[in-house]
Structure 1
Amino acid sequence: MNYETNVLSQDVGQQLIDTGARRRRALIVGIAVVLVAVIGAYLLFGRGGDTASAPAKGGKAEAPHVSVIVPARQPVARTVSATGQLAARREMPVGVVGEGGMVQRVLVEPGDWVAAGAVLAVIERAVQAQQNESLAAQVGVAEADARLADNELERARQLVARGFISQADVDRRTATRDAALARVRVARAQLAEARARTGRLDIRAPAAGLVLTRAVEPGQVVGAGSGVLFRIAAGGQMELRAQLAESDLAGLRPGVRATVTPVGSTRSFTGEVWQVSPIIDPNTRQGTARIALAYDPALRPGGFAQTDVLTGNIEAPVLPESAVLSDNSGNFVYIVDGANKVARRAVRTGQVGDNGIAIIDGLNGTERVVLSAGAFINPGETVVPERVNPARR
């Protein structure tokens, strides 16, 4: 009985094992079928789609379509750009004009506006004050002597009529009176000179303007060799001393307008050329154009600025900004020639305005210029040009 039971159990276990093995084989086969189907679909649709989208072997790719513009020539303002240094139009250096001494007070700071004759600094004058008092006393003595001599002359004239003195005595008293009056004039002149010298101890502004620099402090001893103590911009007027090339300077005349933009500022100021340098630097081949500017706190002497000087009108092609490209070699455009091939053309740009960029050199206005997408085409490439009317842009 036990033997039969063991045999039956072994048969049932073997059947279970066989059934599990068949199931695993079926699962593996199913997975393999699915993988084969996926690979087949990829080969059929993926590569087939690429193959369908590619041109047939031996066929030619279609030439790209590009928009072109024929700019023609139109009047544009001709400007010359330059850089230069801001400065006072008329700078007045102020120093010691008298004998000098110790500075007692300084009354102004850089940035202050002063009137003509305003006191900038005061020099100590105790000694000069005593000298003035002494000279004033001498004037009093001379005036007293003159009055005494005049009175004696009057008495002498009365006595000569009565015969008590001679005419010679009257003449001597007249000479004495005249000498006394002369001594009065000398004393007064000496006093006036001393007072003038004392007055020169006040350092004054020679004209109205803006104080630019101050190089003196109270307690400092100054004299004729002390150099410049203050610098004043006459009337506060400023200018830009623009450096221009010899060729640009040749066509420039006083009175033309200019726009000045200080470095680091977004503001621009309008001025005009008031002087053109009569000489050219032989080393740099440049000259100076001085552009007058009204006072503004943003215009600081010593700073640099960029200027665009309007020198007149010229006829030149004008292109949209998208048509002008640049690289290390400079500005250039792509043009389409008669064979519809792309060619690179170097250009020199001028003023940038609302209508576009003026082309000063490189185009005559009849070329077909690629309007945009210049970065996606190459010189020598054949294209299909589609002309765009510039008037519609």
Structure 2
Amino acid sequence: MMRRLSAALLLTMLALPAEAQFGPQGPPAVGVVPANRQPVTESTEFTGRIEAVNRVEIRARVTGFLQERAFTEGQEVKAGDVLFRIEKPPFEAQLEQARANVASAQATLENARVALARARELQSTGAGTRVALDNAQAQERTANASLLGAQAAVRVAEINLGYTDILSPIDGKIGRATLTPGNVVTPTLTDPLATIVSQDPMRVVFTVSSRAAGELQARYEGRGGVNAVVVRVRLSDGRPYPQAGRIEFVDTQVDRSTDSLLIRALIPNPLRAGARAGSPGDRELVDGQFVTVAVEGIEPVQAIVLPRAAVLQDQGGNYVLVVDAEKKAQRRAVRLGRTIRDQVVVENGLEGGEQVISEGLQRVRPGQEVNAAPAAAPPAGATPPGGPAPGGAASGSRPG
């Protein structure tokens, strides 16, 4: 019975037309997006490091006992603030001794001048000899030189006494102290007593390969060179830093070991809102921290931006499928620029205005007729075509 039913069903299916068996055959439906030009902010990313503009290691300039530390570790100090005090009495005593030597030298000089005057008077009357006059002149000069040496010793003693107050040479934030009061300090200590780094502005230092440096130069030299770009920073946790910097220095030599070029930019580092200077975390940028550096063009350029899904790749390279006037899919080889999330910049291969297939590509072959319709809009809340990546510009270009 079952065999008879199966045979009857098979005969019925064979009797049906092909359209009834497999459905109607027609051009595949695809979604297209227009290859329109739009303002794009060019951006290229590198890995960089924050560096203080000024960095000073605090060291003793005389030998003595450390008497006082006059700062709190981590606080911000001003140029001229006292940081450490070295025991003063030994240096005060040296200064008094030097002043006493000056007084003695002055007395000796006065006596030599009196003797010289007497020798000249005797010589003029014929009662004195030329030898006596010459000796008196030599003693006067020797006494005068001794006075100058004693006065210089006073100056040295005053300088050494001044060095017992160790002052900050710059404005900045001071780190931890390596010695506590009671220790003997000398100018030859291996470690500095403390280190001060300036806070605002900071430097962003990064290296660029020779090839990337050449690309950047070619891209911006006709638009003002380094004045045509700004430098933006993304912190290690992915947050964008709100302040923008400017390139201040490009090294004059390529590092032969890495074939890279060092670039340095200045970037503001103000106090955070509501923060007190010297408190932990009072500023975003810290000397020595790693950051992601983005070199961005100030003025946007017109460029074609497509969904990344619209770009295919094979052994021949990157290509897209466009719908021509006969509603057929045609292959176009393209050269891509930078990628921003799910968008990509097309630098060459499209003129603008083409209808590029972005949906249904798996159903289409070059030369095949298609049924094109506008691609589905992105869901609410999604990044619009060409929208910026979160946390600032990603490596590449972003719509302006």
TM-score by length of 1: 0.65
In structure 2, the partner of 1:88 is: 52
* Cα deviation 1:101-148 (Å, max 9, x = unaligned): 332223344341322x54432333433332222222111111222233
The number of residues matched between the two structures is 321
Cα distance change of structure 1 residues 370 and 106 upon mapping to structure 2, 3 Å threshold: farther
In structure 2, the partner of 1:15 is: none
Secondary structure of 2:154's counterpart equals: helix
TM-score by length of 2: 0.64
**What are the equivalent positions in structure 2 for 1:193-212 lying under 5 Å apart?**
193-206=156-169, 208-212=170-174
Q: Work out whether 1:133 is the aligned partner of 2:117.
A: no
Give yes or no for contact 1:336–1:342 (8 Å, CA) kept in 2. yes
Q: Which amino acid aligns with 1:305?
A: V
In structure 2, the partner of 1:31 is: none
In structure 1, the partner of 2:146 is: 183
In structure 1, the partner of 2:243 is: 269
* Cα deviation 1:286-343 (Å, max 9, x = unaligned): 4332111123321111212222213576553124xxx33499x9xx997445564598
In structure 1, the partner of 2:372 is: 385
**What are the equivalent positions in structure 2 for 1:1-393 lying under 5 Å apart?**
56-60=20-24, 65-73=29-37, 76-96=40-60, 98-108=61-71, 109-115=73-79, 117-153=80-116, 166=128, 168=130, 172-206=135-169, 208-219=170-181, 220-223=183-186, 224-233=188-197, 236-250=200-214, 251-252=216-217, 253-255=225-227, 256-264=229-237, 265-281=239-255, 285-296=259-270, 297-311=283-297, 316-319=303-306, 323-325=307-309, 335-338=321-324, 340=328, 348=336, 350=338, 357=343, 359-361=345-347, 363-366=349-352, 367-370=354-357, 374=359, 378-380=362-364, 383-386=370-373
Instruction: Tell me by how many angstroms 1:73 deviates.
Output: 4.1
| Alpha-carbon distance between aligned partners in 1 of 2:158 and 2:33, rounded to the nearest angstrom | 82
Cα distance change of structure 1 residues 246 and 156 upon mapping to structure 2, 3 Å threshold: closer
Cα distance change of structure 1 residues 185 and 146 upon mapping to structure 2, 3 Å threshold: same
Q: Percent identity?
A: 22
Give yes or no for contact 1:260–1:307 (8 Å, CA) kept in 2. yes
Gaps of 5+ in 2: 1-18, 218-224, 271-282, 378-384, 386-400
Give yes or no for contact 1:85–1:302 (8 Å, CA) kept in 2. yes
Q: Quick check: which one's helix share is greater?
A: 1
Cα distance change of structure 1 residues 111 and 278 upon mapping to structure 2, 3 Å threshold: farther
Give yes or no for contact 1:258–1:308 (8 Å, CA) kept in 2. yes
| Alpha-carbon distance between aligned partners in 2 of 1:347 and 1:83, rounded to the nearest angstrom | 25
RMSD value over aligned CA atoms? 4.2
Instruction: Tell me by how many angstroms 1:385 deviates.
Output: 0.9
Cα distance change of structure 1 residues 95 and 347 upon mapping to structure 2, 3 Å threshold: farther
Gaps of 5+ in 1: 1-54
Instruction: Tell me by how many angstroms 1:99 deviates.
Output: 4.0
Q: Which amino acid aligns with 1:324?
A: R
Give yes or no for contact 2:179–2:193 (8 Å, CA) kept in 1. no
